[in-house]
Structure 1
């Protein structure tokens, strides 16, 4: 389930565009639009990464892929634990059937 966003995508795009085109300080644009300045700073930075202007962070697509891979790993680990438990149970059942006296 995706997290709810506090600000609409349209507002994010408008704010990023305004910072990039006008050259105004992020804090001023943020104040004018009613956005927290650190939120806008992060959006502008991520937009630069996504455009290939910065190489010090992962792109949005890479972050999405990483998040999906982490979910997949967690699911596989849970499945592995279930299989381990089933294996132990099965081995115990086989051991019990070998040690039962014959009738």
Structure 2
């Protein structure tokens, strides 16, 4: 079974290497994580710091997590707005039909 790690855990693992000066192999031994995974997390955090988000990956840095949340919220609001526009158009056309039938 494949283990999964939270974004916070990944961020802390990356900090061991980037900020605390651990080697990748040292950090992996301490955390019980594979080197490939930790190197991928480091690359992802470095990309996120430059404003890039790797496709198909969940953001690790808190800033990128927040950006992803806000993008999802914007998408929801835009969908809601589109639904309301369509509903308004339907209601307006029904109102126009009712007004025309009353005039006759």
Which residue number in structure 2 is paired with residue 78 of structure 1?
A: 79
Aligned partners of 1:67, 1:85: CA distance in 2, in Å?
A: 27
Which residue number in structure 2 is paired with residue 39 of structure 1?
A: 37
User: What value does the CA root-mean-square deviation take over the aligned residues?
Assistant: 3.7
Aligned partners of 2:11, 2:63: CA distance in 1, in Å?
A: 20
Structure 2 unaligned blocks of 5 or more: 53-59
Taking structure 1 as the reference length, the TM-score comes to 0.57
Contact 1:31 1:37 (C-alpha < 8 Å) held by counterparts: yes
Asked which structure has the greater RCO (Cα within 8 Å, sep 6+), the reply is: 2
Question: Given the alignment of the two structures, is residue 17 of structure 1 paired with residue 16 of structure 2, yes or no?
Answer: yes
Aligned partners of 1:67, 1:11: CA distance in 2, in Å?
A: 17
CA offset at residue 69 of structure 1?
1.4
Contact 2:28 2:38 (C-alpha < 8 Å) held by counterparts: no
Contact 2:14 2:38 (C-alpha < 8 Å) held by counterparts: yes
**SS in structure 2 at match of 1:35:** coil
Aligned residue runs from structure 1 range 1-103, under 5 A: 6-7=4-5, 13=12, 17=16, 21-23=21-23, 26=24, 28-29=25-26, 32=29, 34-45=32-43, 46=45, 55-57=49-51, 60-101=61-102
Rg larger in 1 or in 2?
1
* Equivalent residue pairs, number: 91
